[in-house]
Each structure stands twice: as C-alpha cells, then as structure tokens.
Amino acid sequence: MKNHVRELYKCSKCNLAVEIASSCACTEPCMRCCGEKLDPVTVNTVDADHEKHVPHVERQSDSICVKIGSVEHPMTEAHHIVWIELVSGDWCLRKYMHPGEKPAVEFKLCCNKNEKVKVRAFCNIHGLWEREA
Ligand SMILES: [Fe+2]
C-alpha cells in the first residue's frame, strides 16, 4: 500500500508553508511563491540551539503528552509552534497551536495505544521537527 503524501514546502522569501495532501505528476516541485519554487521542508531531529524544538514525549497507558523542547519553545506572534501532531501508518492526530499558549498538548488514545508513532512539531521559523515514540 502506498503511503499517504505528507510533504511540506516553504517559501524562502515570505515564509509561506504549504502541506501537500495529494501528489501531482510533476517530477520536481512545481509550486511557486514570490516568483520562486517552494523549497521542500526537511525533517530535523537534532537541535543545536539548546533543544528548543525536538518534541519531549511522555507516553502513558492511554495518552501521549508532548511538549516542545526541553527548553520551552517561544510562543510569540513572530516565532511559535504552528502545530503538534502524532503520525502512524494511515492516521494522524494534529493540534494547532496559537501564540501565547504553552507549546504542549496531551493526545488521548482510545485505540492503537501501543503503536509506535512519530511526534512532529512545525515551527513557523525553524521548520519541522520529529521524534519517534
Ligand atoms: Fe523555533
């Protein structure tokens, strides 16, 4: 079975981020913003800046608690976590975040409680961060 498309692209000029839900037939990125092709967003797993972005994860029997960074990530209008999500196989749970909130969320799991998941967070400045849990 083909995996679902979960690609992110970002404009290097204006910071627009776009998530692709379905692939096209083009052989290379074809979307444009500010007159340029969008850059693919690569997944980061190691943070040299005091671990402000790598998700910190605590797994409990029926939930997964996530906070972004061992040093709390800023949540200002200019610099914040846009969303935090759990991804596994063909399901995804996503919580959109807002400036002023704590960069943390508890996902309640009603099934798939023991399944390995990817915990991902998207920073509007520093991109996509991921950890397996
Ligand atoms: Fe950031």
Q: Indicate if the pLDDT at residue 2 is higher than 90.
A: no
Domain ranges of the chain: 7-40, 43-132
Ligand 1 centroid, distance to 112 Cα (angstroms): 30
Helix (H, G, I), strand (E, B), or coil: what is residue 5?
coil
Check residue 14 and give its pLDDT: 92
Check residue 75 and give its pLDDT: 97
Nearest to 121 by CA among 101, 61, 36: 101
Name the amino acid, one letter, at 99: P
Are 66 and 84 contacting, i.e. CB atoms less than 8 angstroms apart?
yes
Helix (H, G, I), strand (E, B), or coil: what is residue 28?
coil
pLDDT digits (tens, 9 = 90+) for 97-119: 999 999 999 999 987 778 899 99
Residue 1: pLDDT band (50, 70, 90) is: very low
Ligand 1 centroid, distance to 70 Cα (angstroms): 13
Average pLDDT across the chain, whole number: 88
Ligand 1 centroid, distance to 52 Cα (angstroms): 7
What are the E-state strand segments in the chain? 7-10, 17-20, 32-33, 36-37, 39-40, 43-44, 55-59, 63-68, 81-88, 91-96, 104-108, 118-123, 127-132
Ligand 1 centroid, distance to 95 Cα (angstroms): 17
Ligand 1 centroid, distance to 21 Cα (angstroms): 24
Ligand 1 centroid, distance to 15 Cα (angstroms): 13
Q: Record the pTM.
A: 0.86
pLDDT digits (tens, 9 = 90+) for 34-66: 999 999 898 888 877 657 899 999 999 899 999
* Structural domain 43-132, CATH architecture: Sandwich (2.60)
Ligand 1 centroid, distance to 80 Cα (angstroms): 6
Q: Is beta strand 91-96 parallel, antiparallel or unpaired with respect to 118-123? A: unpaired
Q: Indicate if the pLDDT at residue 6 is higher than 80.
A: no
Ligand 1 centroid, distance to 73 Cα (angstroms): 6
